[in-house]
Amino acid sequence: MSDALVQIRSLEKTYTRGSGRDAQAVHVLQGLSLQVHKGDFVALMGPSGSGKTTLLNLIAGIDRPTAGELMVDGLDITRLSESELARWRASSVGFIFQLYNLIPVLTAAENVELPLLLTKLGKRERREHVQTALSVVGLADRMGHYPRQLSGGQEQRVAIARAIVTDPLLLLADEPTGDLDKASGEEILELLSRLNREFGKTILMVTHDPHAAERAKRLVRLEKGVLVSDDVKAPASR
């Protein structure tokens, strides 16, 4: 048995486009197999429509595969109910979106605290966790700021703090630098690298940007729902 955190075998995802006679099956993922090990930092690349985001969504448990096996930390998440899946996501997955997706009416601290409301932690413990997470992303001094009072880079760092505050097994990032300028994007990539390097976080990152992908330890390429390459980079090249 390998130390694979994510184990995917013959994964398929098919959407139906249109309805009635015009209904058309779209095969987004076709028999994809992949393993992600603990501590990996994987960049998922590929042209638009290649199935990167769909794969990320399936691993995150926010979408369901049509066929195949998808195990995360030994758990077959395809067999979980909606509620079980939600609880699993709350404890095991940190999701980082391209557009940050912070709640605009909550402060940075409250946004980070949001996933902790789903835990049994008390108010004081939640506050400590929030402070730690915001310190890790370098925004301990912006706790009371609302998203509109933060720059794009800062918003994304708050989103990362929200993703790591529950100390999940897996961090999933969908184009985390896609909406940022170069400098801010660089800061985010450095932060993700640090989370992987110093805190041992397993990260899967979807990106179009080859420069961003260079930060990863491993580069997986998809085309038309099929895995076309899987390169583990030598430490010196990162």
Partner 1 sequence: MSYLGFVLANLLRNRRRSILTLLSLALSVFLISTLEGLLQHVQNSPRMTGSERRVIVRRRTSLQDRLPEHYVDKVRAIPSVEAATPMLWFGGLYKNTKPENFFGQLSCDPDLFRQIVPEAEVVDPKTGEPRPELYEEFRKDRSGAIAARDLFVKFGWKLGDKITLIGTIYPVNMELTLRAAYHAKQGTDNQTLYYHHKYIDELLGRPGLIGVVSARAKNVDDIPAIIEQVDAKFANSEFETLTETERAFQAGFVQMLGNIEFFLRAIATAVAFAMLMVAANTTAMAARERAHEIAVMKAIGFTPARTLALLLMEATLLCTIGAAVGAFLAWATQGVLEAASQASVMSFFLSGYSLAPWIPVAGIAIGVLVGVASSLGPCWRVAQLPIVVGLRRTA
Chain residues binding partner 1 by CB under 8 A are 57, 60, 62-63, 82-83, 86-87, 89-91, 93, 95, 97, 99, 101, 103-106, 109-110, 113-115, 117-118, 162
Q: Residue 29's Cα: distance from chain center in Å?
A: 18
Cβ closer to partner 1: 41 or 95? Answer: 95
Pairing relation of β-strands 202-206 and 170-174?
parallel
Cβ closer to partner 1: 36 or 60? Answer: 60
Cβ closer to partner 1: 5 or 60? Answer: 60
Please return the burial class of 110, using the count of CB atoms within 10 Å of its CB with bins 0-12, 13-18 and 19+: middle
CB 62, min distance to partner 1, A: 4
Phi-psi sector, 101: left (phi>0), alpha (psi -120 to 50), beta: left
CB 180, min distance to partner 1, A: 16
CB 157, min distance to partner 1, A: 17
CB 87, min distance to partner 1, A: 7
Cβ closer to partner 1: 146 or 186? Answer: 146
Give the full edge-to-edge strand order of the sheet including 93-96. Answer: 93-96, 170-174, 202-206, 41-45, 218-223, 226-232
Cβ closer to partner 1: 67 or 103? Answer: 103
Cβ closer to partner 1: 115 or 153? Answer: 115
Please give the Cα distance from 65 to 67 (Å, whole number): 5
Cβ closer to partner 1: 53 or 202? Answer: 53
CB 60, min distance to partner 1, A: 7
Q: How far is CA 49 from CA 28, 63, 126, in A?
A: 8, 16, 39
In 3D space, the residue among 27, 6, 47 whose CA is nearest the CA of residue 169 turns out to be 6
CB 163, min distance to partner 1, A: 9
Per the CB < 8 A criterion, the answer to whether 109 and 143 are in contact is yes
Please give the Cα distance from 174 to 165 (Å, whole number): 18
CB 1, min distance to partner 1, A: 28
**To 5 degrees, how large is the angle CA 127–CA 144–CA 175?**
85
